[in-house]
Amino acid sequence: MSRPAPISVEADPASTTRTDRVRALNDAFRQSFAGGHVMLSRGIATLPAALRHEAEASVKSFQAFAAAGDPYGEHDFGAFDLARQRCFWKIDTYDRAMVGHSPDPANPAVTVRILTIMLAEEY
């Protein structure tokens, strides 16, 4: 798997908190699927193409963040319904070598984002 170019988000680091920066980077990646990797679980990958595209569109347009599913305000998890099935998406952050967790998810120069879309039953 090739390593994507770091995500670029226009923000003044001096005027934003670490959480604000992580949230902005997660939102930019989730809304575009650029600057990271998108993985589909087996349950999503085996759906008809039209439903896979609908799942991807649901993730990109997701705005229903609530404290229960986003307790740290980082916009790294969401749930939606697709063809009467509950689905989840999750963003995880890794170091650039993709060996372990990112040392600083607020810094795109040292972080690779992986977004996984899955059926809730696969979580």
Render pLDDT for 22-60 as a digit per residue (tens, 0 to 9).
999 999 999 999 999 999 999 999 999 999 999 999 999
Distance between CA 45 and CA 52 in Å, rounded? 7
Total tally of structural domains belonging to the chain: 1
Q: What is the pLDDT of residue 16?
A: 84
Backbone angles phi, psi at 81, to 5 degrees: -105, 140
Given phi > 0 = left and psi -120 to 50 = alpha, else beta, which region is 115?
A: beta
- Predicted TM-score (pTM) of the model is 0.87
Is residue 91 domain-resident? yes
Domain that holds residue 88: 17-122
| pLDDT tens sequence across 62-120 | 999 998 889 999 999 999 999 999 999 999 999 999 999 999 999 999 999 999 999 99
Q: Is 68 part of a structural domain of the chain?
A: yes
Examine residue 114 and state whether it is found in any structural domain, yes or no.
Answer: yes
